[in-house]
Structure formats: C-alpha cells, structure tokens
Structure 1
C-alpha cells in the first residue's frame, strides 16, 4: 500500500472532529424482532480537519502537505488526540497496559494491539500498526524489559523480543500511536477573506488498513 511515514503537523488538526464509524446491517422480521449483523470486524475512523484554520500560512502548510500526498494517493500518520495511547486519556503509558499474548516457548514476535470493551462483553482488539518511535514499553511476566531486550518496527507495530518467553507467560506493552489515514477528497477549497487571513472548507480524512 502507498504510505508515507510522516505525521500531519498537530497545529493543522486543531479543531478537528471525528470518531469511529461502524457498519451494521439491520433486518426487521415480520414478527417485529430484528436480525443484526456487521460485515466489519473493526470500526473505521473518519475525521474532518482544516475548518478552523484562518492563517494563510497554516492553510499553505496544509496545501503543501496535501500536494505531497498527491491528494488521496498516499496515506500518512495522524494523531487522534481522543485516542492515541495504550492507557486512559491524560495518563502515561505503562508496560502492563495492553496484553499482547502469551509465550509458547518458541514465539518471539508479538504485534501491538489495543483492546476495547473489557467489561463483560466481547472485546475488540485493534491492531496498532503505527506506534510512535521510542514510546513502546514491554513487560514479560509482569517485569519490564530493558530497551535493548526488544525491538519495535514502527511501520508495522510488531515487537520482537530478544529472548523467548516461556509457555503461558504474559507479554504486555504500553505505547503511543498514530492512526494511519489518507485524504478522502482530491480537492481543497480556500476562501481569501483579507490579505493575511482566509477560510478553508473542512477536509475529510479516513482510516486505512496497512
């Protein structure tokens, strides 16, 4: 997939709106009961950015970023300030935040995931493919590993351990992450309101699978 490992500057996303989208198919039976199903295993994030930009310099920066991505052609990293860490909002990621799996005596590679819904229902496990470099902390059996005892591929989210966890031993991690997105339009619209100020129409972003 065409993807650029670059993050949209945070100042260009101030005032953004967005969240998770789900797709649910609902069929109402003759009895009045409903049959519900979903073709999507995971939600998909959508955002609108740029509507709060007023500085021509910021609008020029967003235009430059848009052009460098060739509109919808290339994906990029986006910091979703409502959901960008393995821990609760405002907290500091810790090595016990998210369970990645258990050792089997041979496995050393564990993909990062974030779990939603550990409240008695069936949790959703979201693959985290774009962790922030230097932010990942890992523990094996509840003991945090030194930085040199594991490696993280920040383009895929895979953690490779130097040692092999014993069978049944829990592997956990904490991290910061970006959401992989692309522009969902091939056009930007800017209105000039004065010599040094303007207004930009909201620009849609959509999450991509990488």
Structure 2
C-alpha cells in the first residue's frame, strides 16, 4: 500500500475531533430480540483535521501536506492526542505498560499491541506505527536495551529480540504510537474571508489498514 512514513503536523492535529468507529450489523427478529454481529475485528478511526487550524499559516501547511500526499493517494501518520501512549496520557511510557506476549522458547518476533480493559472484557489493538525511539521492552520484569537486546521496525510495529524468550517468559512493552491514515477527500476548500470569521474547512481523515 502507498504510505509515506511522515506525520501530519502534530500542532495541527491538536484540537481535532474524531475517534474510533465500529461497524455493527443488527437484525431485529420477529419476536423483538436482536442479533448483532460485526465484520470488523478492529475499530477504524476517523478525524477532522480542519478543526485544529488556527491561522492562515496553518492552512498553507495543510495544503502543502495535502499536495505532497497527492490527496487520498498516500497514507501518512497521525497523532491522536486522546490516545497515543501505551499508558495513561498523564504518565510516562514504561517498559512494563503492556503485556504483548509470552515466550515459547523459539519465537523472537512480537507485534506491539495495546490492550483496552473494561467490565472484565479486553480488546487487543495491534500497534503498527510506533514512534521511533519511544519503544521500551521488558522481559520478566527486567528492562531490555534497544540495539543490544532488541530492535523495532517503526514501520510495522514488529519487535525482534536477539534471543528467544524462555517458555512462559512475559514480554512487555511501552511506547508512543501514531495512527496510519489517509485523507478521505481529494479536495480541500478554503476561504480566507470565512476562516478569519472563525470558520474552518472540513478535512476528513480516515484510518487505513497496513
């Protein structure tokens, strides 16, 4: 898939609106009960990048970024300010934020994941665009050193350990991450006059599978 490993300017995504969406198929039966199902294993996120624009310089930056991505053609990274860490936003990333796997004595490559908990139910979200330099890895409660004990592919979120963990060993991780997205439009309409009165253009952005 056509993807540019570049982040949408974080100062422009700050203040944007958006978040995860799910697709649920609902069938109402004759007795009034419902059957609910989903074809999606993972949520898909949508945002409006126009809300974060605060000046004409911001619009120029947006247009330059849009043109460089050729509209919808190339994907890019997006910082979701409401959910961009393996821990709570108020905390610092630590190597034991998330349990990502347990060793089997042979496997050395592990996908970064973030697990969401609520009401005894868990959802494990694959993290495919970690921020380079932010990833911390631990093994059975001990912090590992990048380039010495492990490497990270920032384009896929795949962690490779130098040595395969022992059977049952707990592999943990902490990280910051971006969302892979693309523009959900091939046109951006702006008006200098309306922008100066407080109106911002709509710039839809949608998550892509990579």
Q: TM-score, normalised by structure 2?
A: 0.94
Q: TM-score, normalised by structure 1?
A: 0.94
1:140 is aligned to 139
1:178 is aligned to 178
CA distance in 2, matches of 1:52, 1:151: 35
The alignment status of 1:111 with 2:111, answered yes or no, reads yes
The alignment status of 1:159 with 2:159, answered yes or no, reads yes
CA RMSD, Structure 1 to Structure 2 (Å): 1.6
What do the CA deviations read for 1:157-179 (whole angstroms, capped 9, x no partner)?
00001112101111010000000
Greater mean deviation of Cα atoms: 58-67 or 7-16? 7-16
2:94 is aligned to 94
The alignment status of 1:189 with 2:180, answered yes or no, reads no
Please report how far the alpha carbon of residue 197 of structure 1 lies from its aligned counterpart in structure 2 after TM superposition: 4.7
CA distance in 2, matches of 1:169, 1:52: 44
Please report how far the alpha carbon of residue 94 of structure 1 lies from its aligned counterpart in structure 2 after TM superposition: 1.0
Equivalent position SS for 2:191: strand
Work out the number of aligned pairs and report it: 208
Question: Structure 2 matches for 1:62-101, cutoff 5 A?
Answer: 62-101=62-101
Please report how far the alpha carbon of residue 117 of structure 1 lies from its aligned counterpart in structure 2 after TM superposition: 2.2
Equivalent position SS for 1:155: coil
Runs of 4+, deviation exceeding 6 Å: none
CA distance in 2, matches of 1:55, 1:81: 20
Equivalent position SS for 1:138: strand
For structure 1, the 5+ residue unaligned runs are: none
Please report how far the alpha carbon of residue 180 of structure 1 lies from its aligned counterpart in structure 2 after TM superposition: 0.5
Instruction: Quickly say closer, same or farther: Cα 1:53–1:96, change in 2 above 3 A.
Output: same
For structure 2, the 5+ residue unaligned runs are: none
Greater mean deviation of Cα atoms: 79-88 or 10-19? 10-19
Equivalent position SS for 1:61: helix
Please report how far the alpha carbon of residue 95 of structure 1 lies from its aligned counterpart in structure 2 after TM superposition: 0.9
CA distance in 2, matches of 1:19, 1:32: 31
Conservation of the 8 A alpha-carbon contact between 2:14 and 2:81 = no
Please report how far the alpha carbon of residue 93 of structure 1 lies from its aligned counterpart in structure 2 after TM superposition: 1.2
CA distance in 2, matches of 1:90, 1:71: 34
Conservation of the 8 A alpha-carbon contact between 2:18 and 2:46 = yes
